[in-house]
A and B are shown apart, each in its own frame.
Chain A
């Protein structure tokens, strides 16, 4: 560490390079990047796919190894393996990501944002150049610590190598990452999916949807203002789920749910249990006004695409309505059929994807207008061959985090 009392006066670019030189270089890279953004019109597609991304990875790691073993004593490599270079590149990446965190990453009409590419930071030259310097620092110091291996360096290596692997594999892997969405309909085979750019992609297998199922929560009870139609009380926060025989208090109304049907139809002036397509839930309420003890009774229903809703008017000011039930769980019972005709049965559910021949199948969505009567289930298919490398990096960092916890725990007064 430099001793403050006998600090030697040094000129810019005298060895070793410090923070001023580091930020000079870093900001220089960033400005070069922005300049490239301005001069290159249109969007650039940086993705490289297999096998070129693998060649690039091997070439890059080879380049880092040659830099370290062949040119360790040059000014540049010494600078790259020292703290000022790391900190300046971390700061500049933080700066650029902060722009991403403020400027929405969508097409913009603002000329400055568009020309500098501030709305597409992840493929911005400035970001890529700064990231390249960051990764080079990270790679070189990782090599340095591995070469000078000591047991107490294990945590360091886990954190730094893990981050390096996860970042590099994540970036290079985008070229091989496939994310497709497939519309499947009940009792039909589907095998033509679409990618992000809405291009059709034929799958090496077909998906047969046996049944799409939704489990719903009970609807909620809301008190609304007759004139504005807005939910009153606590900004609409405190809504109760409607359950039979329960009592609720809304403002000065005491509500008792006398009857509740999850699926019903209107017959005359009342609702009866029916299980047709599009039959909505309904409830029979008894509402007592606590102030004057008057009682109002009546039916409410949230309606559906096939039936109108029903509200219960209490007085000139307020009415009770039923909200549309929220989905608790939705799932697709499917058969995956290979080209050879082999069938695999499975049920897809949110948070429960299914692995099949290098693909992962996810329950994505359904026809929300139709709700639980939807015959459509949208399945997402993802192929990410680089995932094992990324997970290796992630698990190394998780192990590194435990190590940090242990180290942090040992810091005491002395």
Chain B
């Protein structure tokens, strides 16, 4: 979990899982400030491990790397699922990270379940709830994932982007940086400042 988008995704997935018979309890654990022992403790007795995360420089956020290393060989056969979102439009930019997580499963003995790879993730903290335009498709995807999580099933990677034209997302994203600069009292010209002097 961690960032605004991941938290929203985690909560929405929890709700989707809760709709299904035989779902059992869903515990959401925030990775921020979590020690590796904390994750191991949270996973004990779990039927599945679902990770919702933002893509960081094409890969795992650093604190997640430590947490996953701490899993070690403690949970052989535990099904693992992931929802990865990135700010780029192209959802396949998450694929190298999916590979990294598959490697994690292989090394740790977890059973690979499924990964959802989402582009246009910049909209998730800001837009209407998942399930309403333009993020309707994302909730559908979470429903599919929820079914596999509850059933202990595996599935192929699935990709999704917001339901709006790509150029509109790009224009909106670029304008949003100016909005945030204004909010922080940063002059627009200073956004491009260089520190190599």
A and B together in one complex: no
Q: Which residues in B have some Cβ–Cβ distance to A below 8 Å?
A: none
